[in-house]
């Protein structure tokens, strides 16, 4: 096999490949034998028809296509190995000349990994703001704890207040038309934590049981359903039930009930321990981010647009999945935000992710950081516990999905490189 290499823009190389006629004929004959096993030719058993009869029946082009499909992985593998290419995408054939009895000529293009020039990534000294707990963090934590153990009781002797939970009927209209999906019977709503449009829950306060009343609201200008965006609406409402939370008393008995505590002071000490851990964890994450942002900002790399576009495709798929989980569709998001605006943000995110990945790989190469079998096994175990799948099944699934396997390996490498950067740089918390 002879090859001629030509460098092109965007980290692409053009490769002209010549395969000796003898090998090309071998590819062709093997392909013909394989195809003959699946083609019904009158007068012949499968696999027994002569090559010329097979060619008359299905054509030379189909046999050549099968021959190339089978031979190209090995051909490309040899080209990559012999030239020490670091490819980032599947090679693709631009053209070929395949004449039986002559050398097979293939012109292909390979996309290479961009060269990364690192700036300083060790012995950095950075200063960032340390995370500060709120002065009332303890009080808020205790209040949240009491709220989680509150009892819900029905109220019949007063009007609603803004901390109640109500059960009510509503029916909405806008511009004289009934709002699609804008009605419900016996809907439960926490007035203090409403996800309804602004002004809705507030107008349900100071209302008595059983009274029928109307409220008026205005849909936000950026509302996902264009027909309603910025429009006034009237909702006919009726409150069927009023419920309120009754908090338990904060005393030693309560502390003993919810955990291994003897006194309220023991409980508060445990809460403070949690708050301190929260601060440490946030400071750790912010320190890691500060180091990594500094390292990547000083690294120089010329990333081809095709890499960014492929990563953007991944982000689009992730975004669509998240929208679906939230009850929205891609079409609704495009209508609300605009296709160009969504894609602009996703491509900006994709460019950052690609650069981060390239920088991580470069540091790993420079420092000889690799993921050992034991470390990868630990990742597998972590994943299997998360999804409640035994490790053997997890391994089987990964081998059937190489992209997931590679992503898991990359995640383990990212963690090792991050630890290396933390160990070899210093962050001072103000």
Average confidence (pLDDT) over 322-349: 90
> For residue 25, is it within any domain?
yes
Pairing between β-strand 125-128 and β-strand 426-429 as defined by DSSP bridges: parallel
Q: Which of 60, 83, 113 is the last residue of a domain?
A: 113
> For residue 73, is it within any domain?
yes
User: Given a cut of 80, is residue 399 above it in pLDDT?
Assistant: no
> For residue 140, is it within any domain?
no
DSSP 8-state class, residue 346: H
> For residue 142, is it within any domain?
no
| Per-residue model confidence (pLDDT) at position 378 | 84
> For residue 146, is it within any domain?
no
Whether residue 183 is found in the same domain as residue 301? no
Whether residue 26 is found in the same domain as residue 107? yes
Whether residue 51 is found in the same domain as residue 160? no
> For residue 144, is it within any domain?
no
User: Given a cut of 80, is residue 45 above it in pLDDT?
Assistant: no
Whether residue 291 is found in the same domain as residue 410? yes
Q: Looking at 13-22, 245-254, 373-382, which range is the least confident one?
A: 373-382
pLDDT digits (tens, 9 = 90+) for 284-335: 999 999 999 999 999 999 999 999 999 999 999 999 999 998 888 899 888 8
Domain that holds residue 292: 264-429
Q: Which of 219, 246, 273 is the last residue of a domain?
A: 246
pLDDT digits (tens, 9 = 90+) for 368-381: 999 998 888 888 88
| Per-residue model confidence (pLDDT) at position 274 | 96
| Per-residue model confidence (pLDDT) at position 165 | 94
Q: Looking at 81-95, 167-181, 333-347, 373-387, which range is the least confident one?
A: 373-387
| Per-residue model confidence (pLDDT) at position 1 | 85
Q: Looking at 28-42, 145-159, 328-342, which range is the least confident one?
A: 28-42
| Per-residue model confidence (pLDDT) at position 391 | 76
Task: Give pTM, 2 decimals.
Answer: 0.74
Q: Which of 64, 94, 113 is the last residue of a domain?
A: 113
- The CATH number of the domain holding residue 222 is 3.10.50.40
Whether residue 419 is found in the same domain as residue 283? yes
What sign does the dihedral 391-393-394-395 (CA atoms) show? positive
Beta bridge partners of 104: 19
Compute the chain's Rg from CA coordinates: 33
| Per-residue model confidence (pLDDT) at position 382 | 82
Query: Is the Cβ–Cβ distance between 172 and 210 less than 8 Å?
Result: no
pLDDT confidence bin for 222, thresholds 50/70/90: confident
Q: Looking at 101-105, 116-120, 154-158, 377-381, which range is the least confident one?
A: 377-381
> For residue 212, is it within any domain?
yes
Q: How many CB atoms lie within 10 A of CB 267?
A: 21
Whether residue 274 is found in the same domain as residue 240? no
pLDDT confidence bin for 47, thresholds 50/70/90: low
Q: Is pLDDT larger for residue 376 or for residue 348?
A: 348
> For residue 77, is it within any domain?
yes
| Per-residue model confidence (pLDDT) at position 408 | 83
| Per-residue model confidence (pLDDT) at position 366 | 95
Query: Is the Cβ–Cβ distance between 3 and 79 less than 8 Å?
Result: yes
Mean pLDDT over all residues of the chain?
91
How far is the C-alpha of 95 from the C-alpha of 113, rounded, in Å?
A: 23
Whether residue 236 is found in the same domain as residue 166? yes
Number of domains the chain is built from? 3
Whether residue 278 is found in the same domain as residue 424? yes
How far is the C-alpha of 284 from the C-alpha of 276, rounded, in Å?
A: 12
Whether residue 33 is found in the same domain as residue 106? yes
User: Given a cut of 90, is residue 350 above it in pLDDT?
Assistant: yes
Q: Is pLDDT larger for residue 406 or for residue 346?
A: 346
Whether residue 42 is found in the same domain as residue 171? no
**Tokens in use for 97?**
């000349």
Q: In terms of C-beta distances under 8 Å and separation of at least 24 residues, what long-range contacts does 69-74 make, across chains too? A: 70/27, 70/30, 70/31, 70/34, 71/19, 71/27, 72/106
Whether residue 288 is found in the same domain as residue 423? yes
Percentage of residues in the chain having pLDDT higher than 90: 74
pLDDT confidence bin for 34, thresholds 50/70/90: confident
- The CATH number of the domain holding residue 334 is 1.10.3120.10
Whether residue 215 is found in the same domain as residue 313? no
DSSP 8-state class, residue 340: H
């Amino acid at each position: 096999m002879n090859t001629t290499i030509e460098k092109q823009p965007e980290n692409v190389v053009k490769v002209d490949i010549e395969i000796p006629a003898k090998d090309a004929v071998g590819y062709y004959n093997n392909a013909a034998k394989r195809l003959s096993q699946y083609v019904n030719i009158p007068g012949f058993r499968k696999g027994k028809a002569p090559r010329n009869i097979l060619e008359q029946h299905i054509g030379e082009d189909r046999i050549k296509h099968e021959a190339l499909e089978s031979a190209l992985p090995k051909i490309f593998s040899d080209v990559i190995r012999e030239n020490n290419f670091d490819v980032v995408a599947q090679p693709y054939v631009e053209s070929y000349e395949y004449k039986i009895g002559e050398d097979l000529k293939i012109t292909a293009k390979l996309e290479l990994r961009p060269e990364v020039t690192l700036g300083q990534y060790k012995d950095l000294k950075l200063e960032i703001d340390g995370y500060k707990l709120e002065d009332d963090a303890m009080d808020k934590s205790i209040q949240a704890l009491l709220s989680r153990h509150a009892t819900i009781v029905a109220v019949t002797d007063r009007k609603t207040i803004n901390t109640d939970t109500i059960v009510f009927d509503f029916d909405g209209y806008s511009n004289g038309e009934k709002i699609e999906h804008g009605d419900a019977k016996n809907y439960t709503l926490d007035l203090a934590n409403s996800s309804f449009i602004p002004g809705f829950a507030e107008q349900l306060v100071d209302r008595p049981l059983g009274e029928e009343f109307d409220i008026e609201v205005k849909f936000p200008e950026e509302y996902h359903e264009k027909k309603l965006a910025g429009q006034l609406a009237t909702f006919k409402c009726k409150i069927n039930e009023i419920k309120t939370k009754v908090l338990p008393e904060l005393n030693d008995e309560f502390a003993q009930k919810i955990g291994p505590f003897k006194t309220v002071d023991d409980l508060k000490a445990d809460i403070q321990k949690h708050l301190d851990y929260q601060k440490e964890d946030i400071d750790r994450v912010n320190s890691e981010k500060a180091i990594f942002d500094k390292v990547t900002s000083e690294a120089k790399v010329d990333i081809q647009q095709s890499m960014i576009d492929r990563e953007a495709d991944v982000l689009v798929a992730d975004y669509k999945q998240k929208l679906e989980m939230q009850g929205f569709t891609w079409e609704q998001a495009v209508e609300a935000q605009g296709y160009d605006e969504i894609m602009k943000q996703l491509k900006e995110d994709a460019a950052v992710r690609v650069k981060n990945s390239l920088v991580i790989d470069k540091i790993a190469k420079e420092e000889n950081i690799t993921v050992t079998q034991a470390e990868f096994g630990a990742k597998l175990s972590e994943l299997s516990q998360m999804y409640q799948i035994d490790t053997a099944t997890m391994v089987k699934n990964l081998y059937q999905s190489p992209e997931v396997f590679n992503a898991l390996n990359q995640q383990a490498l990212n963690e090792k490189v991050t630890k290396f950067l933390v160990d070899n740089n210093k962050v001072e918390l103000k």
